[in-house]
Amino acid sequence: MTTDQKKAEKKVDRRVKYSKMVIKNSFIKLLKEKPIAKITIKEICALADVNRTTFYAHYIDQYDLLHQIESDLVDDVKDYLANYNPNAFDSTTAEMLEKILEYIKANAVLVDLLLNANGDISFEQDIIMILARLELLPTVIGEDMDKEDARYAFLFFANGCIGVIKQWLKDGMKKPTQDTARLIYDLITKGQEKFFPR
């Protein structure tokens, strides 16, 4: 490849990145105002100041765009946590929860949209799968618990974590990330005995 060809390729790459960025930002802006079902490609393109051909060069429709935004965010979370690999549910888990909350806080507008507002339930499921793969939730199960019950227990804890995160976002993240991570950790490990003593 010649130097001129390399320069031309870089220029195209920059153009593609720019187009995708303005389309994404315009879509997020519209998503703040209304559900995805009411957002048209025409509106996204008008706000992004790109033509429909440019949009369709990268996305099938607004749902595909949403899915790609979610996938990018999920990949970012995985990369962000790549250095953590706990072997047991312990204080390292609280650190990892804090790291996730820090990431969420840095990307609060987008995460809040995807979890609380006009997003997609599949994003929640992706976050739950991250918790599963990273062993962020305990296998607080006895050896006598069967696999089905273990799966139910995991979903109970995972959905509880997501619920706390959603409320934390709705409250404007006033509670510090460290305190919120510790609360989630304590709810999982000490749950009823600490917060609802008999």
* 162 and 102 fall within a common domain: yes
Q: Quote the CA–CA distance of 62 and 49 in Å, as a whole number.
A: 16
At residue 2, does pLDDT exceed 80? no
**Domain co-membership, 48 together with 89:** no
Residue-wise pLDDT for 18-60, tens only, equals 999 999 999 999 998 888 889 999 999 999 999 999 999 999 9
pLDDT in tens, 113-142: 888 766 567 788 887 877 776 555 554 455
Q: Give 168-173 contacts, CB < 8 A, sequence gap 24+.
A: 168/101, 169/104, 169/108, 169/111, 169/112, 169/115, 169/116, 170/112, 170/116, 173/105, 173/108
Number of domains in the chain: 2
Mark whether 95 and 59 lie in a shared domain. no
**pTM for this structure?**
0.73
List pLDDT tens digits, range 57-106: 999 999 999 999 988 888 888 787 776 655 444 556 677 788 888 889 99
Look up the CATH number of the domain holding residue 11.
1.10.357.10
Q: Which domain covers residue 38, as residue numbers?
A: 3-64
Same domain, 185 and 93: yes
CATH number at residue 187: 1.10.357
Percent helix, strand, coil in the chain, to 5, is: 75, 0, 25
Residues 181 and 95 in one domain: yes
Would residue 77 count as lying in a domain? Answer: no
